[in-house]
Amino acid sequence: TQKLRTSRSLYVSMSVIIIYNPESDSGQRIAAAGAESWYEPLADEAVNLGRTDPDQDPLGYRTLFMIELASRYYDDASNLTDQILQENQLYPETALLSQFETGSIDAAIAYRNMAVERGYEYIELPDQINLSNPQYVDGWYATTSYTLPSGQQIQGGLISYGSTIRHMSDAAVAVFDGHTTGNYLTDHGFILREQFPVYTGDIPQPIRRITEDQSDDTRSQLTRSTTVQSPDITGITVLI
């Protein structure tokens, strides 16, 4: 507890996975293929796959990174981007889950916590392609990239989530303690490796810059917000 009282930030990692409908024929084919050959049924036009738009959502471009890495990782796979991805697969994240739950799509590319929290069946992908392992960031994940319509280039990297206490108080520490100890993180699909969770004693510079450089009105809005996104942050940062 004392460690948490002197720590202001924590980071954990997340992975990309394949969720599937076990009641559909296509979903059963994906389940049978498993982590070794999940891409084979997805390349079949009979499988209705959903994903988010890379121009609108980080999961969207992380999907592209995963598919590109998979094309290199599997011996019998090549150019999976052309084989698997189609324009009619794109949905906003909330619509993606709705389409999956109503059976309109057989499978979707999602974050692991989305599957765990909702009880979806899913394929756990190898660390080499799921963007969750710090070991593979340099020289592997980082070899992928995507250019947004704005011209900003996003480089492949670790998917990380962070929790930051902006103003130390007993109430904030209690929330932080509840979110970062016990089984909370694993129960919600986060991945705890030897390197994680990582605790730091200062508010990260990107968060400090975002909150300190805003007007009073904007800062008030940020205080009430649960997420802040920045090119300098690889995942989602929760402000407490």
Mean pLDDT of 232-239: 44
- Distance CA(15)–CA(9), nearest Å, equals 20
**224's tokens:** 């009430």
What H or E segment, with its residue span, contains residue 239?
strand 236-239
Average pLDDT over residues 158-172: 77
Extract the tokens encoding 120: 């979806």
pLDDT band for 240, please (50, 70, 90 cuts). Answer: very low
State yes or no: pLDDT of 164 exceeds 90: no
Q: What pLDDT is recorded for position 170?
A: 80
More confident site: 231 or 51 = 51
pLDDT in tens, 109-149: 999 999 999 999 999 999 999 999 989 999 999 999 999 99
How high is the pLDDT of residue 199? 61
29-34 mean pLDDT: 96
Q: What whole-number distance in Å separates Cα of residue 116 and Cα of residue 122?
A: 9
Please give the backbone phi and psi of residue 201, each rounded to the nearest 5 degrees, phi first: -90, -10
Name every residue whose Cβ is closer than 8 Å to that of residue 47 and which is 6 or more positions away in sequence: 26, 29, 30, 41, 106, 107
Domain residue ranges of the chain, discontinuous segments joined by +: 7-12+158-239, 16-155
User: In angstroms, what CA-CA distances link 199 with 138, 154, 157, 166?
Assistant: 22, 26, 20, 14
Domain 16-155 belongs in CATH node 1.10.3720.10: no
Q: Identify whether 58 is preceded by a cis peptide bond (ω within 30 of 0).
A: no
Give the separation between CA 110 and CA 52, rounded to whole angstroms.
Answer: 9
Confidence at residue 202, expressed as pLDDT on a 0 to 100 scale: 59
Phi, psi of 122 (to 5 degrees): -155, 160
β-bridge mates for residue 20, sequence order: 107, 121
The more confident residue out of 164 and 30 is: 30
pLDDT 10s digits, 48-99: 999 999 999 999 999 999 999 999 999 988 899 999 999 999 999 889 999 9
What 3-state DSSP class applies to 8?
coil
- Condensed to tens digits (0 to 9), the pLDDT of residues 183-229 reads 767 766 677 666 555 666 655 555 455 445 544 443 333 333 333 33
